[in-house]
Each structure stands twice: as structure tokens, then as C-alpha cells.
Amino acid sequence: HYSFFPGKPRWPSNKRTLTYAFLPENQLTDNVKAVFGQAFSRWSMVTQLNFTQSESYRTADIRIAFVTGDHGDGEPFDGVLGTLAHAFSPPSGFFHLDGEENWVIEGMNTPLTTMSAVDLESVAVHEIGHLLGLGHSSVEESIMFPTISSGTRKVELVSDDIEGIQELY
């Protein structure tokens, strides 16, 4: 079953359009940005929320950054595998991904030697759930289940995720 953060924080009900922006220094390709767009659209399809990309990192509601090691928020990353990414509860909007992971996107030919490959969209859909106020779920098929088998791609919301997010928005 789905859960929320303590106090059930959520984005204000008068704010149905949330902006997101990428840390300019990361110089992400359009392909990578499109993966995040796709991940946002999975949540907007089942809520009244809309997500639009902003060119202004500092003023966006949701700030997406690939960072490594200790990056100043008390939750350092740990290199390959271990912690992959983290996101804070509303209305923080910080979404950090470990720049040392071997991120892969669908359709890219990943060498079979990349045992540590992590599917970017799977992690993005999960972290956006946290950014919107969902905690972890006990339902194994849920996008918000706290573990994922390595090399797995899990991007589809299931009824547990949808019921959880619709209780907030």
C-alpha cells in the first residue's frame, strides 16, 4: 500500500502547473531531457498536474541535477550503485541523481558488460513520486516500492501508485 511523508506535504492546490529545469552545467542531451519529460507525463496523465520545462534553474519548482559525492545537502552520493538518486518532499523540489551511475535510456545499446546499468526513466518516475509527496509502497509492482532488481526497467504506474497520487491531487 502507498504512503505519504510525515504531515502529508504536497504542492499547493492553487498550483497545478509545476516547472522543472535542468542544471545548465550538466549539459544534458535532448534524449536525456526527453526521458524526464516522459517520466513527468506518466504522473500528469493520472492527476490534474502539468509539468513544463523552464530554462531558469534557480526559479523552477523542480530542479534536476546530476551530482557526485558530497554535494552539500547532507546526503552524499556513493559512486556506482548503492544510492542512485534522491528527491525531497514538497515543496522542496530538489531532484539529485548520482552522476557516477551508468545511466541507460531505453533504445540505447548498452554493452552487456555494464552489470551496473541503471535505467534512468525507472528512477525518474520513482523520484518524481517522492517530489510530489509519495513515500514508499509495500506493493512490489508499485513504482514506489523501495527496491528494484538490477537491470530491470519499471516505468508503468500501477493502481496503487494512481490511488496514492489521486489522494494528494
Shortest Å distance, C-beta 55 to ligand TQI: 27
CA distance 8 to 92: 14
127 catalytic residue (yes or no): yes
Instruction: Name the CA dihedral angle for 119, 120, 121, 124, rounded to a multiple of 10 degrees.
Output: 130
Largest CA distance in the chain: 48
Pairing state between β 62-67 and 94-98: parallel
156 contact, one of Zn ion, ligand TQI, none, CB 5-8 Å limit per kind:
none
Nearest residue to the partner ligand TQI, using Cβ: 148
Verify binding: residue 63, Zn ion, rule CB under 5 A. no
Give the footprint of ligand TQI on residues 64-123 (CB under 6 A): 83-86, 122-123
123 contact, one of Zn ion, ligand TQI, none, CB 5-8 Å limit per kind:
ligand TQI
Identified catalytic residue from 121, 127, 141, 156: 127
Give the footprint of ligand TQI on residues 125-154 (CB under 6 A): 126-127, 130, 135, 146-148
| Contacts with 14 (C-beta within 8 Å, 6 or more apart), sequence order | none
126 annotated binding-site participant: yes
70 annotated binding-site participant: no
Angle at which helix 120-132 crosses helix 30-44, to 10 degrees, equals: 50
Q: Which of 106, 122, 132, 119 is nearest to 51 (CA)?
A: 132
CA–centroid distance for 96 within its chain: 9
Q: Is 83 or 166 the residue whose CB approaches ligand TQI more closely? A: 83
Q: Is 54 or 145 the residue whose CB approaches ligand TQI more closely? A: 145
Residues in touch with ligand TQI (CB under 6 A): 83-86, 122-123, 126-127, 130, 135, 146-148
Residue set of the binding site for Ca(2+) = 61, 78-79, 98, 101
